[in-house]
A and B are shown apart, each in its own frame.
Chain A
Amino acid sequence: MVTHVHPLTCILLVGACLFVASQAMSAETRALIVAGLGGEVDYETQFQRHANTSADHLREVANDITLLLGEAANRDSVRSALAEIGKRATAEDALVMLFIGHGSYDGEHFRFNVPGPDFTATDLAGWLASVAARRQLVVVTGSSSGAAQAPLEHAGRTVITATRSGEERNATVFARYFSEALGTKTADIDKDLRITAQEAFNYTSHGVSDHYSSRRTMATEHPLSEGPETAIVLAQLASVPSIGPTVSLVDERRNTLEQEIAVLKAEKSSYLVSDYYAELQRLLLELVVVEIQIEDAAERNDP
């Protein structure tokens, strides 16, 4: 399985990009998905549907997935699941956690609502301390989830919440759009056939905003992403050719071309418009050739 680094990340770290990419090549994505207590049948059904949908998409990019639904989604099982993942995870791995359900905030603690005793964001931060994976993504989709941001703040960890604070206490629509993002081409802004966490967040924010404005109602949730812009891939929209060692040079050339395009875009204002697009076209036409070489190699099943 291959984990790709988002090209935009490379703009910032052109020199380090290849290194990061090669590191990521050997990494695993591990995921924990929890559907919390619905309180009502409709919510219960929704939460489980979104959790299942998300898990289905994540399976395309991750082999290690733990899905907790219904009574199994309790405090102890979440803690145990993270402990088990901690045993398997290496520092190079990515850890994705998706908490779909209601939350609450008492002015001090954010609590994720599960059967039995709830757990707090502080509890979760403590359980994560033993997981070595340096790249982590926590997504909390419910009411008041903004209050989970501060306790979960940690180097290398991106925290996405449905609300910007604990005071936004109404039920949210965030999870619907987030799970939808993992399966739609529209969310794939860079058209690399993969949905990164950042793309999923952007799509979800747009969807949530549209949801309220189209109904002419006040928005009661404002999604928030804090921490590093993450290139963790959450879904794959189509099969991506497997690249064997003999085409790695071609693959490197693709990465180089993408970097050159990124640099060109960053320097756009210093070009004449016609020169800029001529150069862009030149690079793109070369990129096509490389893409076709990679595809051909994959079709030949080049070892």
Chain B
Amino acid sequence: MKISPSFSFQHGRSGLHAMHGLYRISSALLLLIAPFGMTNEAVVDAPPANAAAETTNERPAGTNLETLSGSATKSASLEHCQALHDTGDPTAKNCYLELLRIEHDDAVRAEALWRTGNTNAANRAFRRANQIGPGNPDLLTRWGLLFIEVHQAADAEALFKEALTIDPLHSAALLGHAELLARRFEGRAQGLIAAVLTREPNHPRANMLLSRQHLEVGDVEAARAALTRLLDKPLTTVDRLNVYALLAAADHMGGELPSPWTGKALELNPAFGDIYSVPAYFYIITRRYTEAVALLEKATQTNPDHWLAHADLGINLLRLNRFDEAREHLEHAYSGDPYNAEVINTLRLLDSLSNFDTISSSNLVMRLHKSESAVLAPYVREFVSEAEGAMAARYRYKLERPVVIELYQHHDDFAVRTAGLPGLGILGATFGDVVVMDGPSAKTAAEGFDWVSALWHELVHVVTLNATNNLVSRWFAEGVSVFEEWRYGPSPNDSVPYSFLEAMADDRLLPVADLDEGFIRPRYPEQISVSYLQSGLLCLFIADNFDNGLVDILEAYGNGATTVEAIEQALALTPAELDEAFAAYLEERFGQLVSGLEDLRKSNLAAAAAFKAERWIDAITSAEKAISLYPEYIGPDSAYLLMASAAEHGKIPDKAMSALTRYWQAGGRNPTALDNLARAYHDAANLDEAIAVQRVLARAVPLTTVHHATLGDWLSSAGRHAEAQTEYRSVLALEPYDKASAHFKLAGALHQLNQIEEARRQLLYALEIAPRFRPALLLLVEINR
């Protein structure tokens, strides 16, 4: 079977571009593959699904760079050109062009074309070479590496896999595949690297990949060990440069600066920009964007044609809220590499920001879509003010710079803003002072998205990142945010999803010293979310059992402590002792629940089955049992919701009301349930409770007119006109269908507040639309009396 040779990259900046599901983090990952820049001819046609099937004759191919065996002259020429390039010799390009003039072997021509930046022609040359000499894993691997360079990971992966079907132990193919997996932070990469190292302990690329894995989780010494063993081995210039770059990264991560490896690399090749961009990558993944940007600026100065460094610089400047410089570098990256999806998407997103309002004050900059800004800005302002005050007191840290908050209407826009690519699985991200996240129209409360809690979560990150100069560990940063959501956030609750209980039952929780691994390289599908919850519970445990425990850990991180050191300094415990105490806490809190998980599951299933069969009483009974086993649970499949619905169908209003009330009191925020409960309270003349529920509903679903209008009406009935006018202003900001009524209601509230001129203005707006609007006419008369 063949796949179409046409290639899916779009030309020009239109539409979001996905990279075949890959999440490429940084140019730094490419250093292990090819040291060359790309030109604007870099687009490459996809290879056939089975490259070997394209065979046209049986002539064996001359193959890859390392094993070219055609003519010694040709081999020497390619190696000569490579040597020139590796040392930054400006004659290298001419050398390759000369080689192309005299060389007829497609495999050699492919390499030369690749290095002159003509990747499209290089691809065609690889294809021809493969047709002439099929089944050569060296050639397929080199071809795959070309595809990685031009951002076509899926095609690259197919070629590595094909090479491995021919030679399952082919080191270069194993490492090429490992490279792709490592970019996705998939744990399987480690197995492939180990497979190579078992047979070839000093394999340069394998050790470099291994060192990178260590650096990604902050194990500087292990990374150095993997690299230093290579230093006294014979290495190509490229490999030596890459080893230096990783050693420099280790120095940066270990805080041992200046790094001697920088000078050594530049001595070998004065244009070796990766000596800066590789350490920058590790700053990026540890959220130290200021340091990353400084290095990427040096990378682009060292090699002005380092398109990926320009791209990374642009994307990370955006994380520092430096939009103009970011655009400049992104456009430069686009000019040299117009096929980088991250660059295209980010530029397109920047173009779309003309549809956003930027609202600035001394402590806050908000970027909100024009159609939503009037409604959302007051909420965001209120949350930031509340959060800043609360955090300053709890964490002894006051923000020094304005917080920047961007809310996106579409999840993919948020994803591009965050990672350059659509399809990101998170809802919010914080880059120092800059919070970007899904807004309430990107995901709805009905889908389980609580945007106000998510905003609270991110605001906590602003504090923990700034308080530690971004040195806080991942688990602790997430843990404090989750803990804050549960205890102090806008929707406090004690509900832990079943997935965590199951992980606990299966003993899948990680020791605290390794907890970052659960975020960075998950080993089972739910491990990231389980790690969030475990971290949150751990912070809850610390907050409840150690005076100032969280603050002291935060301070320790700020002083440069590792997780082990931070725990020892702040809690006077070893991590193992903390694990033990935490396990006892979990057992006490959830032990009975975990051992009764099967009963809980059966009760939930029985309730659902009875509901489906419309046996309402049975559904209520089973749901009640599930609630008794886990009353705190308020997830989307909460038994409270099922019970309320069954009771409603069964016409048992008291039971429905009771279920909804308990759900609400446990922290449940399903909008339909809140809507029903608020109305039930209102119908029962319990106006205060009705307003309390409706207020939460209007905040959870802020872009729905009716919730604000209803809340405004109830507040007016309760004589709370100042609050009512806020809600009526929200109604108007949402461009309601019946604008005359909205203006009139606002006028009424303003009249009650004795703001006569503003009331008159609102009345005239109403009557301009509807001159016969009798109540508005009468109020106008009263105002003029």
Contacts and interface: CB of A to CB of B under 8 A. Distances in A.
Interface string A228-259: 00000000000000000000000000000110
B761 interface: yes
A192 B767 contact: no
Contacts of B613: none
A280 interface: yes
Task: Report whether over half of chain B's contact residues are helix, strand or loop; otherwise say mixed.
Answer: helix
A284 B778 CA distance: 10
A284 B780 CA distance: 9
Nearest to A186: B738
A202 B780 CA distance: 28
B769 A284 contact: no
Give the one of B741, B772, B774 with max A CB within 10 A. B772
A228 to B, nearest CB: 22
Interface in A93-150: none
Given A186-B741, A203-B737, A191 B768 contact: no
A17 to B, nearest CB: 15
A281 B778 CA distance: 12
B740 interface: yes
A5 to B, nearest CB: 13
Interface string A189-217: 11111000000001100100000001010
Contacts of A203: 737
Contacts of B770: 189-192
B73 interface: no
A7 B771 CA distance: 10
B777 interface: yes
A277 B761 CA distance: 8
A291 B737 contact: no
Give the one of B771, B774, B781, B784 with max A CB within 10 A. B771
Interface in B755-774: 760-761, 764, 767-774
B764 A281 contact: yes
A285 B784 contact: yes
A285 B780 contact: yes
B776 interface: yes
A32 B768 CA distance: 35
Contacts of B773: 190-191
Contacts of B774: 191, 291
B771 A261 contact: yes
Nearest to A203: B737
Nearest to A288: B777
Nearest to B744: A191
Contacts of B740: 189-191
Interface in A286-301: 287-288, 291
Given A277-B764, A287-B777, A288-B777, A189 B769 contact: yes
Given A206-B737, A288-B777, A288-B781, A190 B772 contact: yes
Nearest to A295: B774
Give the one of B444, B737, B764, B770 with max A CB within 10 A. B737
A21 to B, nearest CB: 15
Contact of A280 (B738, B768, B777): B768
A269 to B, nearest CB: 14
Given A189-B738, A203-B737, A291 B777 contact: yes
A186 B781 CA distance: 24
B723 to A, nearest CB: 23
A265 interface: yes
A75 interface: no
Contacts of B741: 185-186, 191
A59 B464 CA distance: 67
Contacts of A190: 740, 769-773
Contact of A192 (B768, B772, B780): B772
B150 to A, nearest CB: 35
A281 B771 CA distance: 10
Nearest to A261: B771
Nearest to B704: A214
Nearest to B443: A216
Contact of B764 (A185, A206, A280): A280
B179 to A, nearest CB: 38
A187 to B, nearest CB: 8
Contacts of A7: 771
Contacts of A277: 761, 764
Contact of A284 (B444, B704, B738, B767): B767
Interface string A57-83: 000000000000000000000000000
B771 A287 contact: yes
Nearest to A264: B768
Contacts of A265: 768
A291 B760 CA distance: 20
Nearest to A268: B768
Contacts of A285: 780-781, 784
Interface in B727-741: 737-738, 740-741
B383 to A, nearest CB: 25
Contacts of A288: 777-778, 780-781
Interface in B703-740: 704, 737-738, 740
Contacts of A216: 444
Contacts of A206: 737
Contacts of B760: 281
A214 B705 CA distance: 12
Contacts of B767: 280, 284
A92 to B, nearest CB: 24
B751 to A, nearest CB: 15
A291 B771 CA distance: 11
Nearest to A210: B737
Contacts of A261: 771
Contacts of B737: 186, 189, 202-203, 206
Contacts of B769: 189-190
A284 B737 CA distance: 23
A203 B736 CA distance: 11
B761 A281 contact: no
B748 to A, nearest CB: 15
A206 B780 CA distance: 30
A97 to B, nearest CB: 26
A203 B778 CA distance: 26
A257 B776 CA distance: 17
Contacts of B768: 265, 280
Contacts of B738: 185-187, 189
A261 B770 CA distance: 10
Nearest to A260: B771
Contacts of A287: 771-772, 777
B763 to A, nearest CB: 9
Nearest to B738: A186
A214 B737 CA distance: 15
Contacts of B781: 285, 288
Interface in B343-370: none
A189 B737 CA distance: 8
Contact of B771 (A187, A193, A214, A284): A284
Contacts of B772: 190-193, 258, 287, 291
Contacts of B771: 7, 190, 257-258, 261, 284, 287
A193 B740 CA distance: 13
A206 to B, nearest CB: 5
Interface string B198-238: 00000000000000000000000000000000000000000
Nearest to A283: B771
Contacts of B784: 281, 285
Interface string B378-389: 000000000000
A248 to B, nearest CB: 18
Kindly list the 7 A-B residue pairs having the minimum CB-CB distance in the complex, ordered from nearest: A191-B773, A191-B770, A192-B772, A288-B777, A186-B738, A190-B770, A206-B737
18 contacts: A185-B738, A186-B741, A189-B738, A189-B769, A190-B770, A192-B770, A203-B737, A216-B444, A258-B771, A258-B772, A261-B771, A265-B768, A281-B780, A284-B764, A284-B767, A284-B777, A288-B781, A291-B774
Given A192-B770, A258-B771, 4 more contacts: A189-B738, A190-B769, A190-B770, A284-B777
